[in-house]
Chain A
């Protein structure tokens, strides 16, 4: 197990390396000069002299491979460079924004558990009952409502009509409720359905029949045998979703004025802030690999038949 985790962690190195090269090539294929973009972002009318000065300052006048290796060399020493626009170190900017987004994502995960687990479970157990129908209605709405629309509906209802929660910003725990709910609802819908169909699928399996034949209580049959097996695909999917939620909170952060990574990176992309984009992508690569690894470990714990590495775990 430990060897496996170490192996996976080592595999991070080529992944991150490959991704940084790929992003570097991709962002340089965009036909916009970052020096011009910088001047637009800072509201400076571009003159040829100023553009040349900015290009020299950012090292944009150097050949591309040289630019990349200069960046890489520094990045290895954890110096991701300075943001073109804010002039702050990229690492500081990421450190400043990441906790906010992580907090938002964790709260969204809380909602996910709170909504998807009971809804999925109950709608499977009480298939075709009123609970099932209600949960189906919920999942249809939640899955098809785009977050920017959902966000404003929630603001309208909970902040303006009922006056229960603040409209925007970060601060108390009340500020966290609406943005995290908006972020979670889409995912909650699909997880509810995933869990429901997983449980129903498993209930048809011979081992459930056998368990029933053994005279086990219904609670135990569904709880231990069906639910546990149905959780497996959910946990795997979650490994991906966690990364997506972290990386994809852009819209939610903009609507709720949440000071996170999503806002930082959208601005950086528009401003062609290369060091910020590179730093962000490297960070996200690490996050994705790690959350997938965690999901793999979790599924191995749930289902001992899954071997990771050469060990059997969780016995």
Chain B
């Protein structure tokens, strides 16, 4: 009996201990959404799938929207690709296109009160240039030769070659945004770490509990239009369904972004009538790369047949519930240099069948799939197994292709194995996505030359691949508008005519928010612009 009592009391102590631990874990600060904030404060609570990260502006291990909250660059990407002033007010480009002079905005202060000037811009850019290899994906960094702080408010960049997209890339969220002097470690090496996230942006990080939440307060030193909100709380919620439940409960005020919640959940929330829902203009293109270097898809007629065999309208309507628009070209026409009037290929199973028939892919009696020289017409379609939307689209494509006698084998895999296929070209067809503004079209086009991209792999079988790559090299250093447009025309038209891409839809950003939130807008893919957002505290 004694021992039983001993055991039971042990268990009791255990239970009490866990209760005590739970009570100790109580965390009043930063917890709770807008509902328990003081009346004078305007607090917006949003969700993020991942923790915001280290907020190192020169590194890639943070959430981009959070980096955009805190840091700014010399320029800003405006509507339809217009380049707008930010930390630089005006700029000039030398006639040979190799020297850019920026006249910086005066009177700008960092969130710690220190002054913004050409010296600190140089310190930042030089820190990035020191880790060139790491940033080699970005042509801007490859092309930059050196920088110069001429005086307090004049800053010059010297390029190795004239590189026209430099202005676009100076708007990027990373890796070139400006960290305050006090944010650097003693050795100035930001490729390792930073001391503190000090920027000139509209928000300042005030509290960060890793994996739980981060609190940003308004930057009172901000030079631009001051945010209406006084505070933004970002709660880490990995699961979309949980985020939706948290929104319904009032623990968060807004869900923002692409792919954060499933399309089904988005539809449910918008149908409930309790929230406002918005979708943005085309951000990126959901596209399928067709491998011109492997199997049956080496044949141009097979690639073209695929373009007509897939019923994209039905995919948009039945799988995407109309939240995305049907895509006919790799880049939407609202991107720079992309208004080319390329042929929009709609669903036409008959035409697809005829194309195959003419190319010698015959349907033998009693068989479901076409054959040529004893070889069956079959292709692998690779996607990430956990992505339910891609999976549904893949199934729709498989069914459509069967109707015209093409056998599509679905290969759904875990994320890294999938990316591995993108990189080594081990696919017949594979899901991909364009990069969105401000990268499209120039950065994506530039990456066509990188063997580790599925674009490169898919294009490898084209007889004119070499000419395409050479033109890409030229277009990026072109200085003349009209010849640049001509070169883009050649590159994009050739790829379109060769049927290397099967564009499905233009992806959009989505926002779902409580009715008392106003002023929600969309910018580029990875930004959450909150400057105009207001909340009516109930």
Contact = CB atoms under 8 A, between A and B. Distances in A.
Is chain A's binding surface mostly helix, strand, loop or mixed?
Answer: helix
Nearest to B138: A45
Contacts of B137: 44-47, 50
A27 B481 CA distance: 51
Given A36-B423, A103-B18, A223-B4, A167 B249 contact: yes
Contacts of B419: 32, 36-37, 40
A109 B14 contact: yes
Contacts of B451: 48
A170 B59 CA distance: 28
B440 interface: no
B400 interface: no
Interface string A210-243: 0000000000100110011001000000000000
A97 interface: yes
Given A87-B54, A302-B7, A42 B416 contact: no
A211 B91 CA distance: 97
A33 to B, nearest CB: 8
A167 B251 contact: yes
A46 B245 contact: no
A205 interface: no
Contacts of A49: 133, 136
A169 B239 contact: no
Interface residues of A, number: 67
Nearest to A46: B452
A214 B488 CA distance: 99
Contacts, number: 185
A85 B61 contact: yes
Given A176-B22, A257-B238, A32 B211 contact: no
Find the residue from B1, B4, B238, B443 having the highest chain A CB count within 10 A: B238
A228 B3 contact: yes
Interface stretch (A4-12, A18-26, A129-137, A153-161): A153-161
Contact of A166 (B134, B210, B249): B249
A106 B18 contact: yes
Contacts of A298: 7
B447 interface: yes
A227 B4 CA distance: 9
Contacts of A172: 25-28, 31
Contacts of B238: 254, 257, 263
Contacts of A96: 210-211
Nearest to B452: A46
B7 A301 contact: yes
Nearest to B49: A257
Find the residue from B1, B59, B192, B246 having the highest chain A CB count within 10 A: B246
Contacts of B53: 86
Contact of A103 (B25, B239, B241, B435): B25
Contacts of A264: 211
A110 B15 contact: yes
Interface string A48-65: 111111100000000000
A14 interface: no
Contacts of B15: 109-110, 113-114
A155 B242 contact: yes
B21 interface: yes
Contacts of B443: 45
A53 B211 CA distance: 29
Interface in A129-179: 152, 155-156, 159-160, 163, 166-173, 176
Nearest to B175: A44
Contact of A36 (B28, B414, B420): B420
Interface string A163-199: 1001111111100100000000000000000000000
B342 interface: no
B17 to A, nearest CB: 7
Given A52-B133, A103-B18, A155-B245, A32 B416 contact: yes
Given A110-B19, A270-B415, 17 more contacts: A36-B416, A37-B419, A40-B415, A96-B210, A106-B14, A107-B19, A107-B22, A109-B18, A155-B245, A168-B235, A168-B245, A171-B25, A176-B25, A220-B1, A227-B4, A255-B241, A301-B7
19 contacts: A31-B417, A31-B420, A42-B59, A42-B61, A44-B137, A45-B137, A45-B435, A46-B450, A47-B137, A50-B134, A51-B452, A87-B54, A87-B61, A168-B251, A169-B212, A170-B27, A172-B31, A176-B22, A254-B238
Interface of A: 30-33, 36-37, 40, 42-54, 85-87, 96-97, 100, 103, 106-107, 109-110, 113-114, 152, 155-156, 159-160, 163, 166-173, 176, 220, 223-224, 227-228, 231, 254-257, 259, 263-264, 270, 272, 298, 301-302, 314
Please list the 9 inter-chain residue pairs (A to B) with the smallest Cβ-Cβ separation, ordered nearest first: A259-B211, A42-B60, A106-B18, A53-B133, A45-B137, A173-B22, A32-B416, A49-B136, A171-B31
